[in-house]
Amino acid sequence: MIIQYARRTFTGYWGLPRSSNIPAITEAQAEALDALHFLAEKHAVSLDFRQGDVQYVNNLSIFHARDGFTDTSDKQYVLWYPFGDQRLIPC
């Protein structure tokens, strides 16, 4: 089973609200999105991610998230890119 999912492609965000020329999500769809998020929160692990770390995550079977943060003179700065291997990913 593969899940690819991002809430904001259905709900919009800030500078990119949901376009008015596509249908709004239904109540059932909104409830489904919320359920995904709350269950993911319930079973989440925190990585203690810090400067000099690189995390590699199976993007087809694991959700990822990031807590809000405050900066003072230290600025959180992360480089991200997607890639793949030729191994098959079991479902």
Partner 1 sequence: MALALNQPLGYIDANTFPLPHLRPILRGISDDIHNAYGFKVLRGLLVQRHTREENIIIYAGVSAHIAPIRGRQDHEIDGRPADVVLNHIKDMTATVDAKHIGAPAYTTEKQVFHTDAGSIIALMCLETAAEGGQSKLSSSWKVYNELAQSRPDLIRTLAEPKWTPEKYVLAVARETRY
| Binding pattern for the stretch 21-60 against partner 1, x by CB under 8 A and - elsewhere | -xx-xx-xx-xx--xxx-xxx-xxxxxxxxxxxxxxxxxx
Find the binding residues for partner 1 in span 60-79 (CB under 8 A).
Answer: 60-79
Instruction: Give the whole-angstrom CA distance, residue 18 versus residue 29.
Output: 15
The verdict on 20 binding partner 1 (CB under 8 A) reads no
Whose tokens are 């965000």? That residue is: 13
Here the tokens at position 54 are: 């690189």
Minimum Å gap between C-beta 38 and partner 1 is 9
Q: Nearest approach, Cβ of 47 to partner 1 (angstroms)?
A: 4
| CB of residue 30 to partner 1, shortest distance in Å | 10
Measured from the Cβ of residue 81, the count of other Cβ atoms closer than 10 Å reads: 4
Judge contact between 9 and 17, C-beta under 8 A.
no
